[in-house]
Amino acid sequence: METKVLHFRFTWIEHSTRTMKRCSVVLHWLVVSCWLFFPLGVSSLADTLGVGQEMKDWEHLESSNVQFQLGFFSSPSGSTNRYLGILAQEFYYPNETYEVVWVANAANPLTDSSGVLKITQEGTLMINDSRGISITLNSEKYLGMPSINNMSARLDDSGNFVLRSSGGNILWQSFDHPSNVWLQGMKLGLFDLKSGKPQHRFLTSWSSLEDPDTGDFTLGIDENQNNTKQLVVWKRGVVYWSSGFWNGYNFNLLSEHDLSYDLGNFSLNFSYFSNENESYFTYNSFYQSNIWFRLDSSGVLYLCHYSSCDKAVVNCNPDQGDTVSTGCVMPKPSKCIDGDVFKETRQLMKPYLYLPNSSLGLSDCKEICRTNCSCEAYASLNPSDGSGCIFYQGLYEGPKYTWSNASVLYVRNNTLAGSVLALIIQQ
Ligand SMILES: *[C@@H]1O[C@H](CO)[C@@H](O)[C@H](O)[C@H]1NC(C)=O
Ligand SMILES: *[C@@H]1O[C@H](CO)[C@@H](O)[C@H](O)[C@H]1NC(C)=O
Ligand SMILES: *[C@@H]1O[C@H](CO)[C@@H](O)[C@H](O)[C@H]1NC(C)=O
Ligand SMILES: *[C@@H]1O[C@H](CO)[C@@H](O)[C@H](O)[C@H]1NC(C)=O
Ligand SMILES: *[C@@H]1O[C@H](CO)[C@@H](O)[C@H](O)[C@H]1NC(C)=O
Ligand SMILES: *[C@@H]1O[C@H](CO)[C@@H](O)[C@H](O)[C@H]1NC(C)=O
Ligand SMILES: *[C@@H]1O[C@H](CO)[C@@H](O)[C@H](O)[C@H]1NC(C)=O
Ligand SMILES: *[C@@H]1O[C@H](CO)[C@@H](O)[C@H](O)[C@H]1NC(C)=O
Ligand SMILES: *[C@@H]1O[C@H](CO)[C@@H](O)[C@H](O)[C@H]1NC(C)=O
Ligand SMILES: *[C@@H]1O[C@H](CO)[C@@H](O)[C@H](O)[C@H]1NC(C)=O
Ligand SMILES: *[C@@H]1O[C@H](CO)[C@@H](O)[C@H](O)[C@H]1NC(C)=O
Write the pLDDT tens digit of every residue in 96-152. Answer: 567 899 999 999 999 999 999 999 888 889 999 999 899 999 876 555 555 566 789
Residue 380 has pLDDT above 70, yes or no: yes
Q: Which ligand is nearest to the CA of 237?
A: 8
Residue bearing the CA closest to ligand 5, atom 6: 265
- 122: burial class by Cβ within 10 Å (0-12, 13-18, 19+)? exposed
- Confidence band, pLDDT 50/70/90 cuts, at residue 235: very high
State the Cα–Cα distance between residues 201 and 191, nearest whole angstrom. 7
Q: Contact 77/83 with Cβ under 8 angstroms?
A: no
In 45-98, which residue ranges form alpha helices assigned H by DSSP? Answer: none
Residue 203 has pLDDT above 60, yes or no: yes
Q: Contact 145/151 with Cβ under 8 angstroms?
A: yes
- pLDDT given at position 30: 27
- pLDDT given at position 40: 62
Among candidates 272, 278, 72, 80, which has minimal Cα distance to 176? 278
343 lines ligand 11 (CB under 6 A): yes
Average pLDDT of span 383-412? 79
Q: What is the pLDDT of residues 252-290, one digit of tens each?
A: 888 777 776 655 556 788 999 999 999 999 998 877 778
User: Is the peptide bond preceding residue 39 cis, with omega within 30 degrees of 0?
Assistant: no
**What is the chain's alpha carbon radius of gyration, rounded to the nearest angstrom?**
24
Q: Which residues sit opposite 181 in a β-bridge?
A: 294
- pLDDT given at position 319: 74
372 lines ligand 9 (CB under 6 A): yes
- pLDDT given at position 321: 65
Alpha carbon dihedral 141, 187, 203, 168, in 10-degree steps, equals 40
275 lines ligand 7 (CB under 6 A): yes
Average pLDDT of span 178-199? 93
State the Cα–Cα distance between residues 370 and 53, nearest whole angstrom. 53
- Confidence band, pLDDT 50/70/90 cuts, at residue 320: low
State the Cα–Cα distance between residues 319 and 152, nearest whole angstrom. 48
Amino acid at 397: E
State the Cα–Cα distance between residues 174 and 181, nearest whole angstrom. 11
Amino acid at 86: I
- Mean pLDDT, the chain, integer: 79
Residue 246 has pLDDT above 80, yes or no: yes
Q: Contact 178/172 with Cβ under 8 angstroms?
A: no
Distances in Å between the Cα of 421 and the Cα atoms of 217, 375, 416 are: 37, 19, 9
Distance from chain centroid for Cα 65: 23
Total-model pTM: 0.78
413 lines ligand 11 (CB under 6 A): yes
- pLDDT given at position 180: 97
